[in-house]
């Protein structure tokens, strides 16, 4: 019975560490996705403002 409990504890610990690593990877991906989206939105806003306020030459 003690061997069964030890195996169960080892199994639970290994599953918990794996899930922690997966959650860490998800957060890293989320951070980079957020950074890319913010940079893209800022670029679009700057482009739109330059078009509205005469950023291009009008002939």
Q: pLDDT per residue over 4-48, tens digit each?
A: 888 888 877 777 666 677 777 878 888 888 899 999 999 999 999
Question: What SS3 state is found at 1?
Answer: coil
Q: So where are the chain's domains?
A: 1-53
Classify the phi-psi angles of 58: left when phi > 0, otherwise alpha if psi is within -120 to 50, otherwise beta: beta
pTM: 0.51
Q: Could you tell me which residues come within 8 angstroms of residue 49 by beta carbon, excluding any fewer than 6 positions away? A: 55
What is the structure's pLDDT at 27? 83
């Amino acid at each position: 019975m003690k061997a069964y409990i030890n195996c169960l504890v080892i199994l639970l610990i290994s599953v918990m560490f794996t899930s922690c690593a997966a959650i860490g990877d998800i957060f890293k991906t989320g951070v980079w996705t957020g950074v890319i989206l913010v940079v893209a939105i800022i670029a679009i806003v700057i482009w739109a403002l330059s078009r509205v306020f005469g950023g291009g030459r009008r002939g």
